[in-house]
Amino acid sequence: MRYIVKKVLMMALTLIVVSLCVFLSFNIIPGDPVTRRLGTEATPELIEQMREQMGLNEPLLVRYRDWALSMLKGDMGTSYTYSMPVSEILADKIPITVTLALMSFTLMVLLSLPIGIYTAKHAGSIIDRGIVVANQIIMAIPPFFSGILLSLVFGMIFKLFTPGGFVSYKKDMGEFIHYLIFPAIAIALPKASMCIKLLRSSVIDEAVKDYTRTAYSRGNSTNGVLYKHVLKNAMIPVITFMGMALADMVAGSIVIEQVFGIPGISRILMTSISNRDYPVVEAIIMMIAVIVIVANLAVDIIYRIVDPRIEE
């Protein structure tokens, strides 16, 4: 329990630092949201009045304090562009992006674990060599290009889905999940290839250590040694990678949403950056930061479950 409490406190401290960096960076970089909103022809009096209404005349640290406290209460502020609460703008979009990321992560796990274990058990075979070559090719292809190929092959040629024909989860959950399958594949493929390579190498490295030979000397079968001893140790670096991959999939889904015409957070993020709509951008970045930090916390907890000897 002390280990978990320590990690939770570190997570809270990290979030404070991240929030401070995010808020300060968007208030230091060039660009004035008031001028963007009113135009360069606005009078100084009108600009000053608008800055007062938007709360931009307060000292920087005071604004950060108010913003951070509001975020803790679930109030993400008001959009400069749309003049409505940020939480309302993102309410329909966050579930789409999160669902896409979770589907991608699930596909990565389902593909990488059995294939990685199989290639490690049959290292040097023809199938193993073929998978290694395929892995190298898939890792070299960016997800957005994979998305274009998937749209062309499975959308335009085989008609398994309609590119651009997104269906909201509010209308039809089944069609919603069906449309996200191929975007999820585009995101998952390169990560799955990396995970397969990492798991294969890790299992092979663990298989030649002294404890493995000792396990064999006690009469354990190959599968018994693999699943009871080797895999437990080999999974530690893989768990680290998976935690990083989940966080990366949330950020990476933004590009794929553009390729497949998915109305997730990508569109509103791009528009908000162009319009200097900082409350929306800050909310999205903080959401991604929370996912990354929670994923790292989950990895640390799983570490303790897999290997109780880990203290830090």
Residues 47-67, mean pLDDT to the nearest whole number: 85
CA distance 283 to 289: 10
- Tokens matching residue 105: 């992560």
- Assess whether pLDDT exceeds 80 at residue 9: yes
C-alpha pair distances (Å), 116 with each of 34, 78, 119, 133, 243: 54, 47, 5, 14, 17
pLDDT score, position 310: 61
pLDDT score, position 311: 57
pLDDT score, position 163: 92
Place of tokens 């191929």: 182
Residues 115-136, mean pLDDT to the nearest whole number: 94
- Assess whether pLDDT exceeds 90 at residue 117: yes
- Assess whether pLDDT exceeds 90 at residue 54: no
| pLDDT tier for residue 198 given thresholds of 50, 70 and 90 | very high
Residues across the chain:
312
- Assess whether pLDDT exceeds 90 at residue 276: no
- Assess whether pLDDT exceeds 80 at residue 150: yes
* Domain 94-263, CATH: 1.10.3720.10
| pLDDT tier for residue 87 given thresholds of 50, 70 and 90 | very high
Within 85-184, strands assigned E span none
- Tokens matching residue 193: 């290839």
**Ranges in the chain annotated CATH 1.10.3720.10:** 94-263
Residues 53-75, mean pLDDT to the nearest whole number: 87
pLDDT score, position 161: 93
pLDDT score, position 309: 64
Segment 200-240, tens digit of pLDDT: 999 999 998 999 989 888 888 888 899 988 998 899 899 98
Q: Amino acid letter at 93?
A: K
Place of tokens 């889905």: 161
Segment 164-193, tens digit of pLDDT: 999 999 999 999 999 999 999 999 999 999
